[in-house]
A = this chain, B = another copy of it.
Amino acid sequence: MEGDPTLRLRVFDLNCWAIRYLSKRRQERVRLIGDMLQREGFDLVLLQEVWSEQDYSDLKVKLGGYYPFSHYFRSGVIGSGLCIFSRFPILDTLLYQYSLNGYPYMLQHGDWFCGKSVGLDKCWCGIQPLLLGSPQLHAEYCREKDAYLPHRLVQAWELAQFIRHTSKGADVVLLGGDLNMHPEDVGIRLLRGWTGLRDAFAEATRFEVSGRGRAGCQGTPGVSHQPRCLSQGCEDGCTLVPNNCFTDKSELLPFPLGIRIDYILYKAISSFIVKCEELKTTTGAVPGMDVPFSDHEAVMATLHIQRQGQAAGATPSTAEPMLADVVTEARTEVGVGLRVAQQQRYSSGRMAVLALLLLLLQAAAALGALAGLDAGQPFPKLSFCLLAFLAVGILLLATGLYLFHTMEVKMLHGTEEQMRMVLQALQERP
C-alpha cells in the first residue's frame, strides 16, 4: 500500500447484542459473526455490545490470521462492550467514558452498568494515521416520552467534543457505532454539525441492500437522506428492521421499514479526501440460516482515501447558522433535563430530611421510654424496630439518590454552559 496514492478501506460495523445469559443464541451468533468476518476480509471491524471478554478472546483467536491487531475497551461494571479488529497496526488507544449514562436504579434498562463510552484507536493505514472510533450512546426505550434524551444529548456533545479535540493528529477520522438516534434527531445533527463528520449512507454513491442486489440508490450530500431513499424503495439503510426475528415488533410499528440508528461516519482532516464508494447493510437472517447476526443489522462501507494537492480545510456538513440552530435546540433539551434533575435532587433531599426527622423522633421516644417518661401504652417493640430500619433504609437510599442527582445536575449544567459558550462564539464570528 506504501506509495499508492489511493487507499480503499472496507469497514464493518455491528452492534452484536452479545450479553451473557440474556441475549438469545449468543454463542452461535458470535461464531457466525467470526466466520463471516474471516470470509469477507474487511480492513477494519468495529463491534459493540461484545459484553463477554470470553467472546472477544474467541473472536481474537479466530480472526488473528486476517486481523492481526485488535483492542478490547474495558469500563463500567459489565464493560464498554466495544472492540476493534484491524488489519493495520494499532499505535495507541484511548477510552472516553461519558459523564452521564442513565440511572443506576433503572435496573430493567441497565445502561448505567455498561459504562458506555467511545473507544479510540489510532491506526497506521499504509501511508497515513487514521483515528478509529467506536461509540455507543444510551438506548432509547420510549420515543414518545424519552426520559434519557438529555443524557443522550450530553453523550453526543461529549463525543463531538472528544472527536474535535483528538482528531488533529490524524489525516482521517472514522467512526462506526450504534448511536441510538434516528438520522433526523437533534443529537445526530449536533454530532455531525459540530465535528464535520459525514454520514457514509448519505454520501454513498452506491447503496445496496445486501442479498437483494438493489443498487443505484444515488446519494447527494445532505443532512437527512430519507425522503430520497424512501421514494426509490430502498430500505433506507435501516439497522433495526421488522424482518429481524430479534427486534421488538411493537417498537417498530410507527416505522414499517425499520429505523437507522447505526452509522459509519468519516472526515478527512488534512490533505486527504475521503469518498464512500459503497454502503451495504445485512437484512435479517444470515443467508442459509434461521438466525441473524444480531438484533441490529451490520453496516459495511467501502471508502476511498486519496491524497490531494492542498490541505483541505475543516468542512462541516452543516452551515454555521444551521449549526447555531442545532446547538440551540440541543441546549434547550439539556435545559429541560437540568430542571428535571434539579427537581429529582430536591425530592430526594426532602425524602432524606424526612427520614432523618423520623429517626430523631424515634430516638427521642426511645430515650423518653428509657427515662420512664412514657405515661400511656408503650409502642410495640417490634413495630418500633421495623419503623427505625425502614427510616434508615429510606435515609440511605434518598442520600444516595441526592448525591447521584447532584452529579447529574453538575454535568447537565456544565454541558449547557459549554453549549452557551459555543453559541456565543458562533454568533460573534463575522
A385 within 8 A of B: yes
Complex Cα–Cα for A97 and B92 (A)? 19
Interface mask (A379-403 → B, CB under 8 Å = 1, otherwise 0) = 0011001100100000000000001
Shortest C-beta distance, A367 to chain B (Å), equals 19
Q: Is the Cβ of A407 less than 8 Å from the Cβ of B166?
A: no
Partner of A410, one of B74, B122, B166, B410: B74
Q: Determine which residue in A90, A385, A413 has the highest number of CB atoms from chain B within 10 A of its CB, and name it.
A: A385
Partner of A165, one of B74, B120, B411, B421: B120
CB neighbors of B among A56-81 (8 A): 71-77, 79
A99 within 8 A of B: yes
CB neighbors of B among A339-386 (8 A): 381-382, 385-386
Shortest C-beta distance, A58 to chain B (Å), equals 17
Number of A residues, CB within 8 Å of B: 45
Q: Is the Cβ of A94 less than 8 Å from the Cβ of B410?
A: no
Specify which chain B residues have a CB less than 8 angstroms from the CB of A115 in the assembled complex: 407, 410
Complex Cα–Cα for A422 and B90 (A)? 10
Complex Cα–Cα for A120 and B164 (A)? 13
A308 within 8 A of B: no
A216 within 8 A of B: no
Q: Is the Cβ of A165 less than 8 Å from the Cβ of B161?
A: no
Of all chain B residues, which has the CB nearest A418?
Answer: B93
Specify which chain B residues have a CB less than 8 angstroms from the CB of A406 in the assembled complex: 77
Interface mask (A403-416 → B, CB under 8 Å = 1, otherwise 0) = 10011001101100
Complex Cα–Cα for A417 and B75 (A)? 13
A214 within 8 A of B: no
Specify which chain B residues have a CB less than 8 angstroms from the CB of A85 in the assembled complex: none
Q: Is the Cβ of B76 less than 8 Å from the Cβ of A407?
A: yes
Specify which chain B residues have a CB less than 8 angstroms from the CB of A92 in the assembled complex: 161, 164-165, 422
Interface mask (A289-309 → B, CB under 8 Å = 1, otherwise 0) = 000000000000000000000
Complex Cα–Cα for A421 and B413 (A)? 37
A168 within 8 A of B: yes
Shortest C-beta distance, A269 to chain B (Å), equals 9
Q: Is the Cβ of B414 less than 8 Å from the Cβ of A75?
A: yes
Could you list 27 examples of A-B contacts with CB < 8 Å? A71-B421, A72-B417, A74-B417, A75-B99, A75-B410, A76-B407, A77-B407, A77-B410, A79-B410, A90-B421, A91-B425, A92-B161, A92-B164, A92-B165, A92-B422, A93-B418, A94-B165, A97-B97, A120-B165, A165-B165, A165-B166, A166-B166, A166-B168, A168-B169, A381-B382, A382-B385, A385-B386
With A74-B410, A381-B382, A382-B382 given, name 5 new contacts (CB 8 A). Answer: A75-B99, A96-B96, A115-B410, A166-B166, A385-B386
